[in-house]
Structure 1
Amino acid sequence: MTDHAAPHHAAPHQDGSHHAAPHHDGPDPDTAHAWSALGGADEPAAGIRYRPAPGTLPARLPVRRLARACVGVCSLAAAVLLAAGGGASSAPDVLVDEDAVAAAFVSELRLRIDGRTPTVFAPLSGFWRTADGWLRTHANYPHHRARLLAALDLPATGTDPGRLARELAGRSAVEVQEAVYAAGGLAVAVAPPAPAAGHAARHPLVELTRPVAGAGRALAPAALPAAGVRVLDLTRVIAGPVATRTLALLGADVLRIDSPRLPESPEAHADTGFGKRSACLDLALPADRAVLEELLGTADVVVTGYRPAALDAFGLGAGDLLRRHPGLVVAQLCAWGWSGEWAGRRGFDSLVQAARGIAVLEAGPDGAPGVLPAQALDHGTGYLLAAGVLRALTERQADGRGAHLRFSLAGTADWLLGMASRRGGSGDSGDFGGSGPEATAGPASERLGETGSPYGQLRYARPPLGYRGAPTDWASGPGRWGTDRPSWR
């Protein structure tokens, strides 16, 4: 990186003299809940402190509280693993700066490439009026755009937002939702929130199981908690890549593997590729399958971000992986949860917000659906997933056993809605300032870094972890997607 002295410059905490003093008046209930869901004991979570930044991530729902809790438990999990590996001798000391958290939760919005602001949503992605309500579409990737238009019998070229709007205005939202889903595309009807009593049991925040026996290797003492950990990253878009980007920050050797037939957005990779390497393997080819199996033989962690059972045909289901490698930590991520009629559907943060009632709760004065001030389900789930992996590695230090963790954007959405329900349906006091990413308070300049990359000069949000000695930046910027050798360092 270009604006600090060393690749892994460490500071006592993320700090800023102009911010409010750290706040600690007892255990934060949201943080305690997340830490308990990850299998952590109560005592360490009680020591997490936050430096407040009121007004950041403004929303009707308590997004700021969710965001800080996710980063808080990730920071604590890193500190506990560092101590378990012999890299720290004192009790975990965690102080998380909410301003740094806010900057990180909108990293794709803060990214600049040679001064240019990347496009976050394509023209055909967004909310649309229908004959009976509202619809949310996601057409950022070319193949999703093509499937959306095919389902509506619209031409693949020449269809602009105006024509799409006219077509959707005469159709039922659910009718379009089902037609687009059947065509392999992405669209959901905007739905009201379920009754508060229904949220608690819909989708858990984390599902965690551990095998009876294991043979995982212990980590040697190091300055970074995940040093020496080998992570196979089979994820795309935001949540999974944020998790593995965080593990790379903490010293892990993260190797992302994609199909050469599903190219990633260069802008998305420029945001989430920090600290990692990226290679392509076609699992339909026996030679590439053999390379992947060789990588699995010495991996510590596998993170997947595909729909349930999507990887089972390649022997990459969690059960198959743990039978072959009982010391492995397998962390899985999906959109809609691991059970229920929507479990097998494709999904993104924006669609889950629309389908779970968040868009209705964040509606603007004109009644049009609104959005959270960040892709908070993605980013929050990413930090929770990283925390879960770090917790599992800590447990493995003691007994050699791996773990199977499952997360979903729907589970994180239900947690957020549950937070609001416990607070009488309101968000953080004074935090509502409008709907949408444009309402997010800008981070202070020290929250941003700069580095060169194959994509151009990047200005980006620095990582927000806040345990004592945490790295304040990645060891390297993103390389070009799919161009690294599929091998460990």
Structure 2
Amino acid sequence: MDYGIDPGTSQAWAALGADPALLERVSYGGPSDGLPSRLPVMELARAAVAVCSLAAAECAAVRGGRPVPRVRVDDGAVATAFLSDRLVRVDGKAWTTFAPLSRFWRAADGWVRTHANYPHHRERLLLALGLPDDAGPDALAEAVAGRRAVDVEDAVYAAGGLAVAARGVPEWSAHEQGALVAAQPLLTMERIGEAGPTRAWSPMSGTPLLPCAGLRVLDLTRVLAGPVATRTLALLGADVLRIDAPHLPESQEAHNDTGMGKRSTTLDLGRGVDHRVFEELLAGADVVVTGYRPGALDRFGLSPEALAERRPGLVVAQLSAWGRYGPWHERRGFDSLVQAATGIAALEGSGGEPGALPAQALDHGTGYLLAAAVLRSLTGQHAPDGGGTRLARLALTQTAHWLVHGLAGGPRRGGHDPETWLTTTDSPMGRLRHALPPVAYEGGPANWSRPPGLWGTDAPRWAGAVAR
């Protein structure tokens, strides 16, 4: 069933500063019974994928000197992709997405949501609450139960861990950070620095139409929104090289989902020889995507201003949890924590207990919006007088605000069967089952060109580059 011009797609396309006439190129279909929730999650998912697909089609048209291809958004493919982290399998084995200490806990005056999937976050959480390293769920429950939720939040963040007090929508709106989020647009895009040379694109030939073919993307992101964005750029032909610090290992299970089409390496940017390698990579990059908390990478010369000065013509895309403003701007965060803080968990809960969205929808939605912003920046660079460094910024909280306050849609019930939109392939880890990409347009790619590899094992060089 086609919906005409989808309102959520129109909102997101306007936020990207794009030509509204192109919305007529988009049509919709497929079963819309996925992502059941009280909030308009399916509407968010559909809109994010639609604008990403349309931005890809527009960019392909610019490179190919042809009309913008038509875009078809399939709700079944969209819902399956938003559940990709839960549906991925290696030799039939599922990924346990949340650790035992990552959940809601009852506090003296409400609820607290913690995130302890990574070992260093688990250690800091236990340290903040005065618990031993081997403490389990029962001990943590007892420690939280005797404290006010906001006191747990403050103590854990002070120790470098992750915990937030669950708030209702009115409480978040009255909070200083929440009020600042409400004043922000869904995303921002701007041109920064002096106009510099933009890497020349060669005309596209052959099929499929890959708007990012020949472009190089440095991926400095972690679970989950940033890797979803760069996974999408890899689908569209980009040479994506993910770089992680060796002392912050990533879960291979997470990489099985979001490493599609990419290569992965480790570099310690605080170490002279590794930093020099990184600078060589940066010299050949067209796009840099970062997903660490604001300011965390600035000491390595990776602030937008420093990048614009050193590499005029880059597209820089930055993702954060809470936004780059306000009292929480330096805090770490994940989708589950943003749901708890912004009132989403309260809206999705029942019987006085908080709930959750049917998918990590803030992560996935922001990821597709981030990819769309990169694509639109690339298109903008090739307009007359459009060169120079482009900067796009997104935040999970801004996507959350859009979900709660900006999108229309009532409660949705359903029983989505994802099998139609899953496929299997051989990988270095074994037989990999994964979701097919939901980003689709006439002449575009149907799948990634390669499966994920073993995390962190690729050489730190661009594809085709000769080792020295």
Q: In structure 2, what is the Cα distance between the partners aligned to 1:236 and 1:200? A: 23
- 2:372 pairs, out of 387, 392, 417, with 387
Which residue pairs with 2:120 in the alignment?
143
Letter in 1 for 2:428: P
Q: Deviations over 1:183-236 (max 9, x none)?
A: 100000000003889688343211111034121113222231110010000000
1:400 maps to 2:387: yes
Structure 1 position 351, deviation (Å): 0.1
* Preserved CA contact (<8 Å) 2:181 2:397: no
Which residue pairs with 2:358 in the alignment?
373
Q: In structure 2, what is the Cα distance between the partners aligned to 1:152 and 1:199? A: 30
Q: Deviations over 1:349-393 (max 9, x none)?
A: 0000000000000012x2210000000000000000000001111
Which residue pairs with 1:485 in the alignment?
459
Please give the residue correspondences for 1:26-425 in structure 2 after superposition, counting only pairs within 5 Å: 27-86=5-64, 89-157=66-134, 159-194=135-170, 201-211=182-192, 212-222=194-204, 223-364=209-350, 366-398=351-383, 399-420=386-407, 423=408
Q: How high is the TM-score relative to the length of structure 2?
A: 0.93
Structure 1 position 55, deviation (Å): 2.0
Structure 1 position 466, deviation (Å): 2.1
Q: Deviations over 1:133-155 (max 9, x none)?
A: 00000000011011100111111
Q: In structure 1, what is the Cα distance between the partners aligned to 2:180 and 2:32? A: 27
Q: In structure 2, what is the Cα distance between the partners aligned to 1:128 and 1:200? A: 26
Letter in 2 for 1:177: E
Letter in 2 for 1:248: A
Which residue pairs with 2:450 in the alignment?
476
* Preserved CA contact (<8 Å) 1:218 1:400: no
Q: In structure 2, what is the Cα distance between the partners aligned to 1:188 and 1:131? A: 14
Q: In structure 2, what is the Cα distance between the partners aligned to 1:442 and 1:142? A: 34
* Preserved CA contact (<8 Å) 1:218 1:396: no
Q: Percent identity?
A: 58
Letter in 1 for 2:199: R
* Residues 111, 360 of structure 1: alpha-carbon distance in 2 compared, 3 angstrom cutoff: same
- 1:442 pairs, out of 394, 417, 421, with 417
Which residue pairs with 1:436 in the alignment?
none
* Preserved CA contact (<8 Å) 1:199 1:414: no
Gaps of 5+ in 1: 1-20, 434-439
Which residue pairs with 1:461 in the alignment?
435
* Preserved CA contact (<8 Å) 1:64 1:428: no
Q: In structure 2, what is the Cα distance between the partners aligned to 1:393 and 1:484? A: 27
Q: In structure 2, what is the Cα distance between the partners aligned to 1:453 and 1:91? A: 34
Q: In structure 1, what is the Cα distance between the partners aligned to 2:426 and 2:160? A: 37
Gaps of 5+ in 2: 464-468
Q: In structure 2, what is the Cα distance between the partners aligned to 1:463 and 1:428? A: 27
Structure 1 position 299, deviation (Å): 0.6
Q: In structure 1, what is the Cα distance between the partners aligned to 2:127 and 2:427? A: 37
Moved over 4 A (4+): 195-200
Q: In structure 1, what is the Cα distance between the partners aligned to 2:451 and 2:30? A: 29
Which residue pairs with 2:466 in the alignment?
none
Q: Deviations over 1:282-340 (max 9, x none)?
A: 11111111111111111100000011111111101111001111200000000001111
Q: Deviations over 1:387-429 (max 9, x none)?
A: 0001111111233323011111011001111135xx4xxx435
* Preserved CA contact (<8 Å) 2:224 2:363: yes
Structure 1 position 459, deviation (Å): 0.7
* Preserved CA contact (<8 Å) 2:288 2:316: yes
* Residues 199, 95 of structure 1: alpha-carbon distance in 2 compared, 3 angstrom cutoff: farther
Root-mean-square deviation (Å)? 1.6
- 1:428 pairs, out of 407, 410, 413, with 410
Q: In structure 2, what is the Cα distance between the partners aligned to 1:149 and 1:357? A: 25
Q: In structure 1, what is the Cα distance between the partners aligned to 2:69 and 2:12? A: 17
Structure 1 position 446, deviation (Å): 2.6
Q: How high is the TM-score relative to the length of structure 1?
A: 0.89
Residue-pair matches, total:
451
Q: In structure 2, what is the Cα distance between the partners aligned to 1:381 and 1:462? A: 18
Letter in 2 for 1:411: Q
Which residue pairs with 1:16 in the alignment?
none
